[in-house]
Amino acid sequence: MKPQGAPQNGNVRLAADIGGTFTDIALFDEVTGRLTLGKALSTPDRLVDGISAGVEKAGGDYASANLFLHGSTVAINTMLERTGARTALITTDGFRDVYEIGRINRPDAYNLFFQKHKPLIERALCFEVKERVRADGEVLEPLDEAGLAALSEKLEKLGIEATAIMFINCYANAAHERQAKALLSERHPNMFVSASHELSQEYREFERCSTVAANAYIGPKVHRYIGEIDERIRKAGFKGSFLIVQSTGGLYESRQAQTQCVRMLESGPAAGVIGTREICRRLGIKNAIAFDMGGTTAKAGVIYKGEPLTTGAALIGGYDKALPVQIAMMDIFEVGTGGGSIARAEDGLLRVGPQSAGAQPGPACYGRGGEEPTITDANLMLGRLGADRFLGGEMKLDVAAAERALAKVGKPLGMSPIQAADGILRIAATAMSYAVKGVTTERGLDAGNFVLVAYGGAGPLHAVEVAREIGIRDVIVPRAPGLFSAFGMLFSDLRYDYVRTHLMQLADAPFEEIEAVFRELEQNGRDAIAATSVKPHRIAVKRALDMRYVGQEHAVTVELPPRVFQKQDRAAIKRHFDDDHMQRYGTCAPDESAEIVSLRVAVSGLMRKPPQDKIKKGGRVPPKSAFTGRRKVWFDGRFRDTPTYRRAALLSGNRISGPALIEEHASTTVLMPGDRMTIDDYGNLTIRVAGTR
């Protein structure tokens, strides 16, 4: 990374990641190889203002960029906060209650106060029309267009802003959904209309219904949001391609994101996992956990055998009250614990999160009107943050305000502000360890065999404690961790994922038929990439099968090398499935018959990646210019005189033993007593955690 230097016109990739507290900007000049970074407070009332402020801080402008890459939490937040559009659902006659009934999950059998998921669309706004298609695609009853036309007039009177269409077997034949969407769009050009087959061509009507309902619900807000950004950057002279990061970490055109909004639910976190994959490739690491802690949440994803783990569906809102979304996405687990998470005394206990102070008013120590104690206030109180060094000294922190806020939560519990701060950080570390376990232990993986790659503004502050909590031996903090998700976007590729349900027994599966479906899906991806304004240097295709043992209900996604299809090797496919089933569930049945449920394809348009520069070499002892003094920092129940270092002055080969603090513009890395840290050739902090097996 070379933070100095002005970019040249028309050769710049500009990446913007909007979080709950900060907006991060990365600008990469493709000619000079220079990377400049900027960080600004998010502006919730008008998010594009935060982007512009960050671009200005990075020393860039829109006119010099040929690519604008963007990741945002606006889609997921609209869902979780229930601030979407007034939405209606139109479905097949007799299936009005599919969305309301759901799957009848009972995660806590003895909880008398258990409540089911709350649909995004109330039952009064769910309507039926006559049509019927069989599971094999045969039309039994044509679409009642007259009835649908009458219903469309009713929707207008009800003030409906968005409509979701889900016909029961449209995954096998989408003709009726296409008819219905065309009719509604023609009659109501200002209504956001979404049809389920455009998002998912899988069976399971509830999951498909939940997916299209979510897309319609968030659609108008996301459509306006992306439109505002596009208008702003075009007026500022941007003439390049505006791409959005999908939940897979891949990119798609902003105009596609305006209609298939649900594909960007986890766009920001996914970019961080892509950045982690690039770090791992450079360092030769096969297995790593991407740990991202920002101002609002902490998230974890996994690099396994060199590639990010993905899933074909996700539960938004947690298992007990979840709304499923049936699209390809990065397998990410999230907890409501971030730097801005609010601590409170409740029922005689100290609790932290999931409520967050966000960017406005922010933690008490920001001095912007916040009065509630947060994790950031606790870090400042315990000396882990320097009041005069936050954001490189741009933003002064108020220690007295943090102490007042912590006293407010500590006093009811008989704790001093210091004790309250210590308790908050302990609780936070435990809560964040759940995110890591959610993508490792719960997936049949041993977290202790993984390297933890920590980033986000608050990730390096807590990474070592989280690692100790679950027995991880090695932690890596990449360069510029506070802006790492924006940096990760620079390594994303165009990507289109397709899936089609196609039930068949593996023993007699017709490979000619499988190959025909795969080729059709792959061509769809190639056509989608060709339709974009970006010209990738190569197309890459991955194939996978959703498989299960005969008699099972749920399937496992099995990624397969091309040679097994070329050789029509059923035994190899079965072995891959058995191995994946064993990895996921700890058991497999090699002698049992298996069946194929769905076929999956991921088509990527590979783009050229920024180089990762090496830093200057030095000796074991850091240069004097890196040492910035000492301050009292709380470790193991007492304050210790702790050295602080300026990360930008550290050289390759330098070693530091804990306790110590390594400070940089947008983050601070904490070394606990006994930890040993080395600077590698690329400037990453590689930490050997003390006290782990």
What local confidence, expressed as pLDDT, does residue 357 receive?
81
Residue 4 clears pLDDT 50, i.e. is over it: no
Confidence class for position 286, pLDDT limits 50, 70, 90: very high
Residue 301 covered by a domain: no
102 and 185 in a common domain: yes
Q: Is the pLDDT of residue 402 over 80?
A: yes
pLDDT tens per residue, range 56-90: 888 888 988 989 999 888 888 888 778 899 999 99
End position of a domain, from candidates 574, 606, 638: 606
Q: What share of the chain is helix, strand, coil (3-state, %, to 5)?
A: 35, 30, 35
SS (H, E, C) 200-266: CECCCHHHHHHHHHHHHHHHHHHHHHHHHHHHHHHHCCCCCEEEEECCCCCEEEHHHHCCCHHHHCC
Kindly state whether residues 63 and 85 are assigned to the same domain. no
Whole-number Cα distances in Å, 116 to 77, 209, 328: 20, 17, 25
Mean pLDDT of 662-684: 93
590 found inside a domain:
yes
Over residues 678-692, mean pLDDT: 91
Q: Residue 553: inside a domain, yes or no?
A: yes
What is the extent of the structural domain holding 671? 624-688
pLDDT averaged over every residue in the chain: 89
- Do 188 and 84 have their domain in common? yes
pLDDT per residue as tens digits for the range 601-648: 999 999 888 888 889 999 999 999 999 999 999 999 999 999 999 999
Out of 245-254, 267-276, 385-394, pick the least confident. 385-394
Q: Are residues 109 and 201 in the same domain?
A: yes
Specify if 17 maps to a domain: yes
**Per-residue pLDDT reduced to its tens digit, 468-496:** 999 999 999 999 898 898 989 999 999 99
The single residue listed with the structure tokens 């900060």 is 22
In a domain, 165, yes or no: yes
Domain CATH number, residue 56: 3.30.420.40
CA 454 to CA 298: how far, in whole Å? 10
Is residue 483 included in any domain, yes or no? Answer: no
Q: Would the pLDDT of 588 be above 60?
A: yes
Regarding whether 40 and 17 lie in a shared domain, the answer is yes
The residue from 188, 205, 223 where one domain ends is 223
Domain count, the chain: 4
> What is the mean pLDDT of the segment spanning 128-141?
94
Q: 541 and 661: one domain?
A: no
653 with 675, same domain: the answer is yes
Distance CA 686, CA 663 (A): 15
Distance (Å, whole) CA 584 – CA 445: 8
In terms of domains, do 556 and 664 share one?
no
- The predicted-structure confidence for 175-214, as pLDDT tens digits, reads as follows 999 999 999 999 999 999 999 999 999 998 999 999 999 9
Tell me whether residue 601 is in a domain: yes
Q: Is 351 helix (H, G, I), strand (E, B) or coil?
A: strand
pLDDT (mean) for 373-394: 89
Q: Mean pLDDT throughout 98-112?
A: 76
Average pLDDT of 509-525? 93
CB 384 within 8 A of CB 424: no
Pair 633, 560 in one domain: no
Q: Which of the listed residues 179, 195, 223 is the one where a domain comes to its end? A: 223
CA-to-CA distance for 412 and 407, rounded, in angstroms? 9
Same-domain check for residues 84 and 68: no
What is residue 256's predicted lDDT score, i.e. its pLDDT? 92
My answer on whether omega of the bond before 659 falls inside 30° of 0, hence cis, is: yes
Helix axes 417-439, 459-470, angle to 10 degrees: 70
Question: 288-333 pLDDT, tens per residue?
Answer: 999 998 877 888 999 998 999 888 888 776 655 678 899 999 988 8
**HSE value, Cβ hemisphere, 13 Å, CA-based, for 417:** 20
In 10 A of CB 591, how many CB atoms? 6
Q: What is the separation, in whole angstroms, between the first and last Cα of the chain?
A: 34
Whether the full predicted model's pTM is greater than 0.75, yes or no, is: yes
User: 47 with 155, same domain?
Assistant: no
Task: Answer whether the bond into residue 623 is a cis peptide, omega within 30°.
Answer: no
602 and 505, same structural domain?
yes
Q: Long-range contacts made by residues 565-568, C-beta under 8 angstroms, separation at least 24?
A: 565/511, 565/514, 565/515, 565/518, 568/511
Vertex 548, ends 547 and 551: CA angle to 5°? 145
Residue 396 lies in a domain: no
